[in-house]
Every structure is written in structure tokens, then in C-alpha cells.
A and B are shown apart, each in its own frame.
Chain A
């Protein structure tokens, strides 16, 4: 939580009235039909006094933190009642009784999620970033958005750990007579080994995907025997099995060229993919989740990409705040 640092450096105290005013602006912006107008007014308000600007900036940080929480939660319909039921109102009740609040939450649709690493790794990237690294043995790593990789090289072992997100690994071919020390890459669902290959490994939470661009990678998952993934092949490592992927809706290596290439992908899956590259959440209404989409998009402009959706599909983009966007059926 980046905001915590503010607590250690004796943060500037702002009058309650200013904080309240910033909150009122935020809510006005969230609910307004005319966001450009409200944004302009907020900007004027921020320019009036530095305290206004600071309050607005802090509120933005808070919103981002909340959106981050929302983004790490896998299923909002599931966890909302959990939070409501299990809330302990300690200060108010001065006791440890549980507040049992059984409120059935209507289906607000599936919120699309992308996990954030949030952990100190050797190499990591923020939202929308790509980062390339060359390791001591010449292996090249390219980290995609919100990714984290640890490098564990010793005298006898070359080991990488994908802790979050997605990485392309390009390791030089080791001649056969010199092969003793393969490059090993661990992920949440298994392990890959190679003596020379270019491949992409992606942690998707419930499973991990391996796509081999060139060379050969030997894969063993926690559930299955070792198998060889060859150039052009993609495998999904799941807790129970490892399966060869025949048809993929997202080109697994296009991101390494800054592109998002999709083929006949469901709109909700597309929104989920897009959400990885921008801060906040991208929600997709169930009514339009089944719509299909194909195309080639620039990853560096996720906002423009989102706006374009409403031109190609019968949908509208509703943004409720700076970090909340929802795709709904066109009215």
C-alpha cells in the first residue's frame, strides 16, 4: 500500500471541510452525466488552493487502493455477502460479536479482474508497463504488465520463478554436448525446463499458460507427467491436468510486440484482458458478455481501445469514476 508511507512522514493535515468537499466532488463526478464539465470544475477547484489539490490527489490514491482491493477479489458476488456477514464492528459494540447481516446481493454482473503482484520480486512491472532484462547467462526476459519474476541463479542451477503476471523468456540454445544445467522456470502450477527456447509463461490464477514460440520446453505440472512442448504449441497447466490448447482467442505472444491480437473472443474475456493494461476495473454487463470480437489493437492506448468498442459493437462505455468502467448494452 503506497499510501502507508504517507503515515510515516507526518502527513500534512488538511481541514475536514476540504476533505469533505473533495469527497463531494468525487461523488458528483461518479454520478454525473456530464463528466467533462464536472472534471473541469474539479480542476478549477484544485487550482484555487494547494490544499484542494492535495485532498483530491489523496482521494485519488484512496480510490486506487480500493479499486486494487476490488481487483484482487475473484468473485464479487461471492465475497460481498462474506464481508457484510463477517464484519466485526469492534469499536461500536466494544465486544467481539459478529454482525450477522444477511443481505442477498443482486447479481451486478461479473467484474473483471486482474491480479496485481504487490510483492517484492527481483523484477516487476506496474500496470501497462513492459520491461526487458538480460540475465547473466544471456537469457532475455520481457515482463508484461503487472508481472513479477525472481531470478535464482547459483553455480549449479539456473532457476527463474514467475510470481505473477506474464513473462517471455528467450534463452540461447545450449549445444547438446554441453547440456547439464537447463534453464528452469517455476510457476504457480508447474515447472518448465529448456536448453534453448523462446516461450511465454502466464499465470492466470487458476491455471498457467505456456506458449512456445521456438525451440522445445519440457513441462511438468503438479498434476501430470513431464511432456515436451514444441515450437508453436500452447499448453494450459491446471491443478488437475495439463492440456494442449488447440484454439486460442488471444494471441499469446502478440503483447511482446505491443499488440493485443484477438480472434472471436467473448466480450467479457476481452474486457478482462484489457483490464490488465489499465488501472481500475473494467466491468462487462452479462447482457453483452457473449458478443464476439476479432481484431488487432495497440496495447499502449487502452483507453482509446475501450472507446473504440462502442463503434464496433452495440455497446456503451459507462465510467462511474476514474477507476471504474463498465461495458453495457447500448440503450
Chain B
């Protein structure tokens, strides 16, 4: 790669000119939409800029695709949540629909919760959601999910532990 400086770090401008096209194509394959791929490619480089640290030159593609993969996941999570939320809203009479600001806020909170619970097993997440947001007791959740209250308690404890680690662990 001739245009790249030979020392161990690389400028974002060089990274951009060298890898933007490739990254765009990679994103396009994932997303199947030109516009979104272009947006996320842009966002990827913005992230690199915001890191405010020199970029190591030894594996720029792996470096960029790790950031881009995270953005794709966020994007998918957001669209999945939005779609599911709009579908749920469609069941409600018009007068109960939230105003745009509220709608936006709700989606944002849903995304924060989904991010927090990312990586939890489905059963653990469901038990935790019913407990934290549904305000149900262990016994009620157990009855609904067809498992023992003891299991629900373990699920809720596991989910809390997961959230704790996310918030307070060094990495």
C-alpha cells in the first residue's frame, strides 16, 4: 500500500481514501441499501476521528470492520425496535399515539434497554423484563413462562449481574 506512511500509525485521511470504497461495499453487502451503507461508512470514520487516538496501521481493515460491525448491529437493533414499536402502536386507537418527541424518546429508551440486555439468553431477558418493567412477582412470571419461581429468581439475578458488569467492570 504505497500511499500509506511506513510508520506504525496512519492518518484518518489516509485511512479514508484507502478504505472508504471497500468499507462501503462491505456495508452494502450487510445492509442491502446504498444510502444506509453510505451513512454507516461515514459514521465509522466519524467514530475513528472521535477516538482521538492514533490508528495502528497493521490491520486497518479489521479495525474498521470492527467499528462498522458495531454500527450495523446498532442499526439493526434500532430498526427492529422501531418496526416492532410501530406495529404495536398500530394496535392502539389514534388518540393514544404519542407525539413525535415522545415517540423519539421512547425509541431511544428502548434502544438503551436493548443495548443493556444484549447478550443475555432470551429466557433470562424475558424474565428480567417482566420483573423490571412488568412489575410482576417471581411467582407470576414463573406461571407465565412455565418454569419454577426459583428459576426466575436465578434469571433475574443473572440479568442484574450482567448489567452490573456492563456498568462497573473495567472493560
Tell me the A residues contacting B by CB distance below 8 Å.
3-4, 6-7, 10-11, 13-14, 16, 19-20, 23-24, 26-27, 31, 58-59, 61-62, 65-66, 69-70, 72-76, 78-92, 96, 98-99, 101, 103, 105-106, 108-109, 111, 115, 188-189, 205-206, 239, 281, 283, 320, 324, 326
Number of interface residues of B (CB under 8 A): 55
Docked complex Cα distance between A293 and B134 (Å):
26
Cβ–Cβ < 8 Å partners of A73 in chain B: 106, 109-110, 133
B63 interface contact, C-beta 8 A: no
Say whether B163 contacts A188, CB under 8 Å.
no
B22 interface contact, C-beta 8 A: no
Docked complex Cα distance between A140 and B122 (Å):
52
B41 interface contact, C-beta 8 A: no
Q: Given A78-B88, A205-B99, are A96 and B72 also a contact pair (CB < 8 Å)? A: yes
Say whether B126 contacts A3, CB under 8 Å.
no
Known pairs A75-B96, A281-B135 / 19 extra A-B pairs, C-beta < 8 Å: A6-B167, A13-B169, A20-B161, A23-B164, A62-B160, A66-B163, A79-B106, A83-B113, A86-B84, A87-B117, A89-B120, A103-B126, A106-B144, A111-B133, A111-B135, A205-B99, A206-B99, A320-B137, A326-B135
Docked complex Cα distance between A13 and B133 (Å):
29
Cβ–Cβ < 8 Å partners of A105 in chain B: 130, 134
B147 interface contact, C-beta 8 A: no
Say whether B88 contacts A81, CB under 8 Å.
yes
Q: Which of B112, B160, B161 contacts A69 (CB 8 A)?
A: B112
**Which residues in window 119-152 of B have CB below 8 A to A?**
119-122, 125-126, 129-130, 132-138, 140, 144-145
**15 A-B pairs whose Cβ atoms sit less than 8 Å apart in the complex:** A3-B167, A11-B169, A11-B170, A23-B164, A66-B132, A83-B110, A86-B84, A87-B125, A88-B77, A90-B119, A103-B145, A115-B105, A188-B99, A206-B102, A326-B135
* Nearest A residue (CB) for B135: A108
Docked complex Cα distance between A290 and B161 (Å):
39
Say whether A206 contacts B135, CB under 8 Å.
no
* Nearest A residue (CB) for B86: A82
Q: Which of B99, B106, B117 contacts A239 (CB 8 A)?
A: B99
Q: Given A27-B157, A86-B84, A99-B122, are A205 and B170 also a contact pair (CB < 8 Å)? A: no
B73 interface contact, C-beta 8 A: yes
Say whether B88 contacts A27, CB under 8 Å.
no
Q: Given A11-B170, A108-B134, A320-B135, are A86 and B81 also a contact pair (CB < 8 Å)? A: yes
Docked complex Cα distance between A283 and B136 (Å):
12
Cβ–Cβ < 8 Å partners of B83 in chain A: 86
Docked complex Cα distance between A96 and B76 (Å):
7
Q: Given A74-B106, A205-B102, are A101 and B135 also a contact pair (CB < 8 Å)? A: no
Q: Given A69-B113, A73-B106, are A80 and B157 also a contact pair (CB < 8 Å)? A: no
Cβ–Cβ < 8 Å partners of A239 in chain B: 99
Q: Given A20-B157, A23-B164, A74-B98, are A90 and B118 also a contact pair (CB < 8 Å)? A: yes
Q: Which of A75, A91, A101 contacts B126 (CB 8 A)?
A: A101
Q: How far is the CB of A208 from chain B (nearest CB, A)?
A: 10
Docked complex Cα distance between A24 and B161 (Å):
10
Q: Which of B76, B84, B170 contacts A82 (CB 8 A)?
A: B84
Say whether A86 contacts B114, CB under 8 Å.
yes
Say whether A79 contacts B133, CB under 8 Å.
yes
Most chain A CB inside 10 Å of its own CB: which residue of B88, B105, B120, B169:
B88
Say whether B122 contacts A10, CB under 8 Å.
no
Q: How far is the CB of B71 from chain A (nearest CB, A)?
A: 12
Cβ–Cβ < 8 Å partners of B160 in chain A: 23, 26, 59, 62
